[in-house]
Amino acid sequence: MAMNRIYFLFIVLLFFHNAQSQSPEILKIREYRTRQESHILNDLLRLLSVPNTATDTSGLQENANMLTEIMKQSGIQNVQFLKADELSAPVVYGEIMTAGATRTIVFYAHYDGQPVDPSQWAKGLSPFVPKIYTGRIDQGATEVPRSQTPIDPNWRIYARGSSDDKAGIMAILYSYQAIKNTNTRLTCNIKFFFEGEEEHGSEHLVNILDKYKQLLQSDLWIICDGPIHQTGRKQIVFGVRGDAGIDITVYGPSRPLHSGHYGNWAPNPAMRLAKLLASMKDDNGKVTVKGFYDDMRPVTAAEKKAIAVLPSVDEQMEKELGIREPEMKGKNLYESLLLPSLNIRGMQSANIGDKASNVIPVSATASIDMRLVPGNESFRQQQKVIDHVQRQGYYVTENDPTAEERMKYNKIAKIVRRPSYDAMRTPMDNDFAKGVINAVRGATKEEVLLVPTMGGSLPLIHLEKKLNAKIIILPIANHDNNQHAENENLRLQNFWDGIEILASVMIMP
């Protein structure tokens, strides 16, 4: 009895504390989540224990199976795998049809993750052995036993996929579960679409959209991926950059040579690659590949206005990342992200440090990713770089050179195009956008930022083209999540907030 009174008081206080901006439905969702925290956390940790890199086909399938199981247990209907062919990791699909609903919203997230190099993770961490820490491991946080309670919202889970993007999937599923179990009224049909090839270029997405066009009929897609704003504020994002990768390999002697006996005489492929890469950017960070910026649609006045009111994060991020000057002189972070980019994501020739031998290496490779903005066409953007390499005197081929090619051409580059897609931006002033903005604002007492585009990429252009759907991105992960790299992590409070934000959209008027 006494406990019940205290509990009642707590709820009342919570209500008043948030009353100015948070709806009673959201508070009910929160109360449900609070009671279920241990259970939700446990499910998330279980999912994070299953490897999800692109080359691990059986791991990806196991992830898909586990999602199927959770979705069926939640009463989600018509759960099935959508497959373009037998080789692709399946999309896990499910739906909730709501009587009388006139609107269908698809909730998207992906369960595959970026490649891992376990040796680069911090001591005690392993990409697929999720662990809970008291905070940021690089700031001295310590491990927390799995069963410890109460659960501190500042704890972080370390694992590949913890923030990108299994958090997205679990937040979507548990926001629906909270709505259901609190008897909150859904206002739309919900479709769940969990992809398994996002980090590998979404190679089969177009085919899947074609094949299941009827099933995927919808008005709005909510994409739950990416980090929240660097200031810790929630943000609604209306676009993504496209992505076009290429790998460039240049060649030295056909077998590795002793660097003494042939040094000065045999061409060094690492030096050739260095010169080639150096020719692609000037000292102000501007890409010097001919025509690189030509196709881009000019930034609109509305977009300029939107980024003008965003809080500046340059100084904070410079301090946080140990950067004295940004790469592009005179451009802040928001301005930089409105432009296409060219980034060396990896570079290698033979070995370095104590593993290095005194050799002239046989080849040197750079893996490059380019981000695209509206107007850029991914194949054409790749072609600009290929043309640039040719203009530097290279013979370009798609294969390792033959002996004949080696004797015919002095400089040879193998260039491999990786799967790619174009950028997408949704106008910020249509009805769906307004509805989502209002819903999210109703779910939080904090300011919500409206961002024309994120810097990252998602294959949303396919959704727009194939399904004629509107698309809005609701990121939930903490901004310092080491996404795509070692020590990827998720701050719990961001995950809890994510559940409320997503629920607010499912029940928006």
**Range 356-395, binding a second copy (CB under 8 A):** 356-361, 364-367, 369, 371
* Residue 220 to residue 222: CA distance in whole angstroms: 7
Contact characters 244-283, a second copy, x per CB under 8 A: ---x---x-xxxxxxxxxxxxxxxx-xx-xxxxxxxxx-x
**Beta-sheet pairing, 424-425 with 131-133:** unpaired
Task: Considering only residues 334 through 353, tell me which ones interact with a second copy, judged by CB under 8 A.
Answer: 336-337, 339, 341, 343-353
- In the complex with a second copy, which residue's Cβ is closer, 90 or 401? 401
| Cα-based distances in Å from 230 to 313, 475, 495 | 7, 12, 16
Closer residue to a second copy (CB): 256 or 427: 256
Q: Among residues 416, 382, 390, 394, which one has the least CA distance to residue 291?
A: 382
Q: Is 172 helix (H, G, I), strand (E, B) or coil?
A: helix
Nearest CA to 37 out of 127, 141, 132, 139 is that of 132
126 is a contact residue toward a second copy (CB under 8 A): no
Q: Would you call 424 helix, strand, or coil by DSSP?
A: strand
Asked if residue 446 binds a second copy (CB under 8 A), the reply is no
Distance CA 400, CA 377 (A): 27
**According to CB under 8 A, which residues from 144 to 173 bind a second copy?**
none
Q: Does 118 bind a second copy (CB under 8 A)?
A: no
Q: How far is the CA of 398 from the CAs of 170, 222, 416, in angstroms?
A: 41, 38, 6
206 lines the binding site for a second copy (CB under 8 A): no
* Total residues interacting with a second copy, rule: CB under 8 A: 103
Q: Interaction with a second copy in 294-323: which residues (CB under 8 A)?
A: 318-323
Which residue matches tokens 């031998």? Answer: 357
Nearer to a second copy, 5 or 355 (CB): 355
Q: In one letter, which amino acid is 342?
A: L
Q: Smaller CB distance to a second copy: residue 202 or 341? A: 341
Closest-CA residue to 160 (of 202, 112, 194, 196): 112
Rounded-to-integer distance, Cα 264 and Cα 94, Å: 63
Q: Which pair of tokens denotes residue 351?
A: 């070995």
* Cα angle value 169/175/178 (rounded, 5°): 140
211 scored as a contact of a second copy (CB under 8 A): no
Q: Is 463 in the site for a second copy (CB under 8 A)?
A: no
Q: Which amino acid is at 278?
A: A
Query: Which one, 70 or 454, has the nearer CB to a second copy?
Result: 454
What mask of x and - would describe binding to a second copy in positions 389 to 428, judged by CB under 8 A?
Answer: ------------x-x--xxxxx------------------
Report in angstroms how near the CB of residue 430 gets to a second copy at its nearest: 25
- Smallest gap from residue 62 Cβ to a second copy (A): 20
Q: Are 170 and 47 in contact (CB under 8 A)?
A: yes
| Contact of 78 with 205, CB cutoff 8 Å | no
> Could you say whether residue 231 binds a second copy (CB under 8 A)?
no
Q: Smallest distance from the beta carbon of 473 to a second copy, in angstroms? A: 12
* Stretch touching a second copy by CB under 8 A, among 176-184, 378-386, 482-490, 497-505: 482-490
Looking at residues 58 to 97 of the shown chain, list those that interact with a second copy (rule: CB under 8 A). none
Q: Are 221 and 460 in contact (CB under 8 A)?
A: yes
Position among 149, 185, 324, 399 found at the interface with a second copy (CB under 8 A): 324
Q: Which of residues 13-32 bind a second copy (CB under 8 A)?
A: none
459 lies in the binding site for a second copy (CB under 8 A): no
The partner residues of 220 in beta bridges, in order of sequence, read: 105, 470
Q: Which of 175, 188, 129 has the alpha carbon at shortest distance from 32? A: 175
Backbone angles phi, psi at 422, to 5 degrees: -85, 170
User: Closest CB to a second copy among 117 and 398?
Assistant: 117
Q: Is 474 an interacting residue with respect to a second copy (CB under 8 A)?
A: no
Of 75-83, 148-156, 216-224, 452-460, which segment contacts a second copy by CB under 8 A? 452-460
CB of 345 to a second copy, least distance (A): 5
Q: Please identify, using beta-carbon distances, which residue of 193 and 251 lies nearer to a second copy.
A: 251
Distance (Å, rounded) from C-alpha 411 to C-alpha 395?
Answer: 6
Asked if 185 interacts with a second copy (CB under 8 A), we say no
Is 471 a binder of a second copy (CB under 8 A)?
no
Q: Which of 355, 398, 399, 509 binds a second copy (CB under 8 A)?
A: 355
Residue with tokens 């050739």: 272
Q: Cα-flanking dihedrals φ and ψ of residue 318, to 5°?
A: -60, -45
